[in-house]
Each structure stands twice: as C-alpha cells, then as structure tokens.
Amino acid sequence: MAAELTEVTATKCFEGWQKIFSHKSDELKCAMRFGIYLPPQSEKEKVPVLYWLSGLTCTEENFVTKAGAQRYAADHGVAIVTPDTSPRGCNIKGEDDSWDFGTGAGFYLDATQDDWKTNYRMYSYITKEVSYKEQCKLPEVIQANFPVLANKQSILGHSMGGHGALVCFLRNPGKYASVSAFAPICNPSECPWGQKAFSGYLGADRDQWKFQRYDACHLMQDYDGPKVDILIDQGKADNFLTAGQLLPDNLTVVCAKKDVPLKLRMQDGYDHSYYFIASFIGDHIAHHAKYLKAS
Ligand SMILES: N[C@@H](CCC(=O)N[C@@H](CS)C(=O)NCC(=O)O)C(=O)O
C-alpha cells in the first residue's frame, strides 16, 4: 500500500513539476517534509532518482529554490528528492539551542544517546528500503508514490549533507550508482562541527564514533566495494574551509592510500553558499546521469 503523502505545493518548472510533500515518518516519529522534482520524462516512463542532502540550518526548500538544478534534471531526465535535515518539533531539551546541533543539524546519523535516539535517525530515514512498517523510510515512500526506477539511485549533498552523501554511499556498496559533494565535511571526527555532533548524538567516547561508522575518512579506509569515481567541488574562498570544518585534504590522503581516484576540484574564489552550488550543479547532475543511465 502506498504511504500517505500530503502535497504541500506543486509548481511547474522546465516542463516538469517541483513539488513539496509532507508525511508522517515512523522512523523519526514526527511529520517530515521533502521536495521532489519530477522531470517531464516521468510523465511517460519511470526515471532514475537523485537524493540531495542539504547542510546545516537548511530545510527541504533551500536546494529547491536556490540551486537551479531543475533545468539540468529536466535535460537528463532524473528526479531529485530533497529531504529535510533533521526531525522537527520533537520537544527534546536543547533541540533549538544552536544552529549546528539539533534542529536543522541531524548529521545523517542514527543517534545512540538517550535524549536523541528516538527521533534522530536520519541515516535510517534516508537509506533503508526494507521495513516492517509503512511510511517509514524515505526510499520506500518515493518508490511507492512516484514514477522512479527501482535500483537506479545516486546521492549528493552539501557540507553536512556532503558528509551524509559520502557516508550513505560508502556504507552501502552498490546501493547508489554514484556519489558527489559540494564542500563536504570530510572528516567529522576531526573538526569542531563533527565533534560537537558526534559527542551529542553518539556520546563522548571516540572509539564509539569509529564503531558507529559515520566518518567518510574512516569508511574510505575500510572500503572494499565496487570501484568509485567521487566528484567533489570545494570553493577556495569558503570560510568554513579555512576554519578547518571541511578537511578535504584528509580525504585526499586516504583516497591516495587506497588508490581511489578522488576528483577534488578546488574552485577559485567560490565560497560556501548556494551561488557556488548553482555554478557547478550542472556538472554534478551530468556526473550522476552518466552512471544512472549506464545499464
Ligand atoms: N548559520 C551559519 C551558516 C550556516 C550555513 O552556511 N549553512 C549552509 C550549509 S552548511 C547553508 O546551506 N545555508 C542555507 C543557505 O545558504 O540557504 C552562520 O551563520 O555561519
């Protein structure tokens, strides 16, 4: 049975439709919203799907209104799903105290700490396909309700969402056809944003952070899945790069050790904003379309 969705908005865009839906998530135990762009091709046939994961403070809407991705999704005939970045309104003590933890900062992990573990399960919400309940995980909801091809999906994201995309990809070899990221948090165990999030959601014990497997550098070190071709764009004028939050060099070192061909493009003059994302989103969608269209 199809999961129950409520259509919040539907807007025609490049001959396709940009829609926002809300649904009840059993996984996160709250109401969630997501965006989906349905390209014109989806009116006649099922299409591949891209999952976009946004960064700190975002909702399902930032990418939809600022990235300019719909033009390229229509050209390549791919749908784009844009989830929210955390559960909302769960009445957890401290959930709204800071912009880089709690609401808007779910970090795409399943929390283990008492206050957070019931709702903060973004990793399972984003990735899992098999469940014993309905209306639970996002891929199930998408498969059940929209004209998308099963097993033709890829993942990308920005900043915290770039970390999420790398983690979802590396933990699930073969599940996603390809991965890419804009200014991802590459080594969260070693940067202030990641350390704050991991301490709060996973506890103070750093051995547990390794055991829980939410750091792209650690995951890459252990990766033995199919060959990967990772595309990362990073602005050289990104203030979070200079503040040591993103650490792309650490990922470069691990990839070199593992002989993984990381395509890290350091882009002159670009910052951390959606202007940067809009400038290169066409390349990323083309990168994914290449793998999604290969049979
Ligand atoms: N609130 C933060 C900035 C947070 C931020 O830059 N978030 C990025 C992701 S890490 C973003 O996408 N913001 C939403 C937007 O630009 O629309 C600050 O004041 O420094």
Q: How confident is the model at residue 4 (pLDDT cuts 50, 70, 90)?
A: confident
Q: What is the pLDDT of residues 253-272, one digit of tens each?
A: 999 999 999 999 999 999 99
Q: What confidence score (pLDDT) does residue 32 get? A: 95
Catalytic residues: 159, 238, 272
What distance in Å separates the CA atoms of residue 46 and residue 147, rounded to the nearest whole number? 5
Atom of ligand 1 nearest to the CA of 160: 10
What is the total count of domains within the chain? 1
Range of the domain at 201: 5-292
Output the domain CATH number for residue 239.
3.40.50.1820
Region 281-287: what's the mean pLDDT?
98
Q: What confidence score (pLDDT) does residue 136 get? A: 64
CB 85 near ligand 1, within 6 Å: no
Q: What confidence score (pLDDT) does residue 295 get? A: 63
Region 150-166: what's the mean pLDDT?
96
Residue identifier of the C-alpha nearest atom 19 of ligand 1 = 99
Measured in Å, residue 273 CA sits from the centre of ligand 1 at 7
Measured in Å, residue 102 CA sits from the centre of ligand 1 at 15
Q: What confidence score (pLDDT) does residue 225 get? A: 86
Q: What is the pLDDT of residues 30-39, one digit of tens each?
A: 999 999 999 9
Taking the chain, what is the end-to-end CA distance rounded to the nearest angstrom?
29
pLDDT above 50 (res 1): no
pLDDT above 50 (res 130): no
DSSP secondary structure of the chain: -PPP-EEEEEEEETTEEEEEEEEEETTTTEEEEEEEEE-GGGGTS-EEEEEEE--TT--SHHHHHHS--HHHHHHHT-EEEEE-SS--S---TTTTSBTTBBTTB-TTSB--STTTTTT-BHHHHHH----SSSS-SHHHHHHHHS-EEEEEEEEEEETHHHHHHHHHHHHSTTTSS-EEEES----GGGSHHHHHHHHHHH-S-HHHHHHHT--HHHHHHH--SS----EEEEETT-HHHHTTSS-HHHHHHHHHHHT---EEEEETT--SSHHHHHHHHHHHHHHHHHHHH--
Residue 105 and residue 85 in contact, taking contact as beta carbons nearer than 8 Å: yes
pLDDT above 50 (res 132): no
DSSP count for the chain of H helices, then E strands: 11, 9
ipTM score: 0.96
Atom of ligand 1 nearest to the CA of 158: 9
pLDDT above 50 (res 131): no
Give 277's strand partners.
Answer: none
Measured in Å, residue 123 CA sits from the centre of ligand 1 at 21
CB 58 near ligand 1, within 6 Å: yes
What distance in Å separates the CA atoms of residue 144 and residue 101, rounded to the nearest whole number? 32
- pTM here is 0.96
Q: What is the pLDDT of residues 33-58, one digit of tens each?
A: 999 999 999 999 999 999 999 999 99
CB 107 near ligand 1, within 6 Å: no
